[in-house]
Amino acid sequence: MSNVLRLAIVDPDDSGRESLKSLLLSMDIVWLEAECSRYEFFPDVVGQTEPDVGIIALDNDPEKGVALIKKVSEVSPKCSVLVISSSHDGALILSAMRSGAKE
C-alpha cells in the first residue's frame, strides 16, 4: 500500500462527512483509514491508525476545529493536517495554518 494515501477524517456533520467520504473513495489512490464524528476523539483516532493525512472539517465549530489542528499536529507530527471549510474568512484560514494545517 505504498502508493496509497491513507486518510482519517473528522466532521461532526453527518451529511458533510458522507459527502467527503464519497468524494475521497472515488479516487483509487485513497484509503480511508478512519472517520470520526467528534472533534474530541480525533487525536486518539489519528494516534491509533497513524494516517498519512488527517482532514478536519471546520464548519461545525471553527474554534474547536482550530484547537484540534494544533493538538493533532503536536500528538502526531508525521500526520499532515488538511482543513476543509465553506468559509472564506481570512482570519480563520490564517489561524488554521498557524495551528499546523498544510497549504
- pLDDT one-digit tens code per residue, 3-26: 899 999 999 999 999 999 999 999
> pLDDT tens across 32-58, in order?
999 999 999 999 999 999 999 999 999
What residues does each domain of the chain span?
5-98
Helix (H) or strand (E) holding 18, with range, is helix 14-25
CATH superfamily assigned to domain 5-98: Response regulator (3.40.50.2300)
pLDDT confidence of residue 34: 97
The cell for 41 is 476523539
Above 60 in pLDDT, residue 89?
A: yes
Q: Model-level pTM?
A: 0.93
